[in-house]
Chains A and B, each alone.
Chain A
Amino acid sequence: KQEVTQIPAALSVPEGENLVLNCSFTDSAIYNLQWFRQDPGKGLTSLLLIQSSQREQTSGRLNASLDKSSGRSTLYIAASQPGDSATYLCAVKSNAGNMLTFGGGTRLMVKP
């Protein structure tokens, strides 16, 4: 059974800092890994999707990497802004089925 863990659970940084969010998964047989953003009381917004054959994806100030063999992904946020404050979720789609397995999320606060 796939398990996804995100560390840290919460993070507070001053504006302008570069930061890294971590995601680990137990079963390396995956189709893809996605990073989502969730604002309080809202739905999820997809940020980046990395296919199992890819090593990284970039979108603006966001860069996500995938190391399938070690079961890890990182989300790098450059020059953080207060508007980046949200919960960031990673989710893994396993080869064995159609479901996404989500991590518990990292609650990020960027202070002005």
Chain B
Amino acid sequence: SQTIHQWPATLVQPVGSPLSLECTVEGTSNPNLYWYRQAAGRGLQLLFYSVGIGQISSEVPQNLSASRPQDRQFILSSKKLLLSDSGFYLCAWSFSGRMGSGTDTQYFGPGTRLTVL
């Protein structure tokens, strides 16, 4: 069976500090990977998705970047955090080859709560 891990679970960082959040998936190969942010009082917003190693698509302009150095590893980064980067960050995966179909359920990780002070 497949599992998805995210760490850390919670993080408190000062404004201007760097950020690195990690997501890994086990039990499948070449998954589609996603980063979402859920800000207080706002819905879930897709930040990045990836269909393969080194292939990253960004949905919204922002202070963040993503990388996929390995098949089942997805990293969210920032060089200098802003107050507005605070939120709940969720990583998700779906089976490859189904992104264009109607059957691609996305499976979410436990999330990272980021507070920027």
Contacts and interface: CB of A to CB of B under 8 A. Distances in A.
Contacts of A79: none
Interface residues of B, number: 27
Given A42-B111, A103-B43, A53 B106 contact: no
- For chain A, the bracket of interface size reads 20 to 34
B114 interface: no
Contact of B105 (A4, A49, A99, A102): A49
The dominant DSSP class at the A interface is strand
CB-CB nearest 7 A-B residue pairs: A51-B102, A43-B108, A44-B108, A102-B44, A32-B102, A31-B102, A99-B46
B103 A43 contact: no
A46 B107 contact: yes
Given A52-B102, A98-B99, A100-B46, A42 B59 contact: no
Contacts of B109: 43
B46 A49 contact: no
